[in-house]
Amino acid sequence: MNEVRGTWFDGGRSKGNPARLRWSNVAVALITDEGLPVSVDRENLQVSSPLPGAPTRITFGGKGSFVTGDFTGVEKLRETLALNPGLASRVERHMPMVVAAAALVIAMLAGLAFWGVPALAARLALTVPEEISAQVSGVLMSQLDAFLEPSSIAPERREELERYFLSHGEVATIEFREAGIFGANAVTLGATMIAFSDELVELAESDEELLAVYFHELGHARLRHVEQNVFRSAAWLVMLTVLTGDIGAVGELLVGLPLSVGLAANSREFEREADAFAVDRLIEADLSPMHLATILQKLEASHLRQDDVEDSTGDGDNGRNPATDSEESSISYSPLDYLSSHPPTEERVAYVRSRMAEID
């Protein structure tokens, strides 16, 4: 005769009675410590399948249940009565397979997130009609306009630059804005819109440097990087929702999606692609690719200067610590293109030089 100790709950009162479940090959009996036998229907005996360490609940078809923490005893009961092994022991028995399956699922999800999603986003982005891209650009521009001022560059100069840029490559809309704390910068807002800050126009010492920036942005526009980012983020959010089951938290992320992800998250690979596009176009236009390297270096220097000014005049608002902050501040102050993302300027200049070496 085998037995496990546990507690009998009769299904009426919440308080249980200490009891023993005994069994042999032919019979099962439950006896409380008070000596009361409880009638047990072996045919309806069911054993819950908890994980090791969790109490096991055994029921007999009625209201009552017997709860025990004796995991080994319960396994013995299963064996004697030829019940299905519990989930815990099944997991334990097939542990290598479980681990392999879990690893496979994780690998598949990672593959989907890091290769599948970007590949799909790249395809989908190219199918977005220009009218839709233009609508996205409009929304992004209006969100950005909350932080920007109208351009103070003379309209004639803006028109002159626009004509110059467009003569080297078409885009539907070119915008100019005074960017304030964002400083010298430019940004692509989808396939149809490129925006320059006044500060960038003033920083450049030649129109060729500005054209180099324009080509870089045109690369983002033609390669549909903003649209790709939107598709990527949407796909990742869907995956996140499926994995976490928390649509509320994911919904909150979605609210900030267009501005934060559509613009700021230009990845390393997108920047490289846009730089390569710009260099190709400069060479095609019989201009030196070094114009791109030059303006990149000026941009970096101007942002470092700007950080210095902000650090020394800042009154520590937002709880920022001016002394330790300068490394990050070009990132946090610049949701626009340059310096807001890697690769570092040094690496990008090295790339331009390597392309120069090719054509020499």
* Residues lying near Zn ion in the complex (CB under 5 A): 271, 274, 337
Residue least distant from Zn ion (Cβ): 337
Nearer to Zn ion, 59 or 266 (CB): 266
**Rounded to the nearest whole angstrom, what is the least distance from the CB of residue 210 to Zn ion in the complex?**
15
Minimum CB separation of residue 340 from Zn ion in Å reads 8
* Distances in whole angstroms, Cα of residue 4 to Cα of each of 11, 70, 90, 329: 20, 7, 21, 65
Q: Kindly state the smallest distance separating residue 242's Cβ from Zn ion, in Å.
A: 32
Query: Is 90 or 268 the residue whose CB approaches Zn ion more closely?
Result: 268
**Range list of β-strands (E), 12-143:** 17-23, 28-32, 37-38, 46-47, 56-59, 65-68
Q: Which long-range contacts (CB under 8 A, 24 or more apart) does 67-76 make?
A: 67/6, 67/7, 67/9, 67/16, 68/4, 68/5, 68/6, 68/7, 68/21, 69/6, 70/4, 70/5, 70/6, 73/2, 73/3, 73/4, 73/5, 74/4, 74/47, 76/2, 76/4
Question: Which residue's CB is nearer to Zn ion, number 209 or number 337?
Answer: 337
Q: How far is the CB of 337 from Zn ion (least distance, A)?
A: 4
Distances (CA, A) of 49 to 41, 87, 245: 19, 5, 24
Cβ nearer to Zn ion, comparing 307 with 337:
337
Tell me the C-alpha distance between 25 and 140, whole Å. Answer: 74
CA–CA separation, 107 vs 111, rounded Å? 6
| Rounded distance between C-alpha atoms, residue 112 and residue 107, angstroms | 8
> Which strand (E) or helix (H) includes residue 149?
strand 149-150
Q: How far is the CB of 194 from Zn ion (least distance, A)?
A: 11
Query: Of 198 and 271, which has the nearer Cβ to Zn ion?
Result: 271
Give the Cβ contact number of residue 58 at 10 Å.
Answer: 22
Identify which of residues 74 and 136 has a Cβ nearer to Zn ion in the complex. 136
CB of 172 to Zn ion, least distance (A): 19
As measured in angstroms, the least distance from the Cβ of 118 to Zn ion is 17
Nearer of residues 28 and 194 to Zn ion, judged by Cβ: 194
Smallest Cα–Cα separation from 348: which of 281, 284, 274?
Answer: 274
Total Cβ atoms within 10 A of residue 190: 31
Residue whose pair of structure tokens reads 């549909």 in the numeric block: 224
Indicate the residue among 88 and 218 with the shorter CB distance to Zn ion: 218
- In angstroms, give the least distance from the CB of 235 to Zn ion: 22
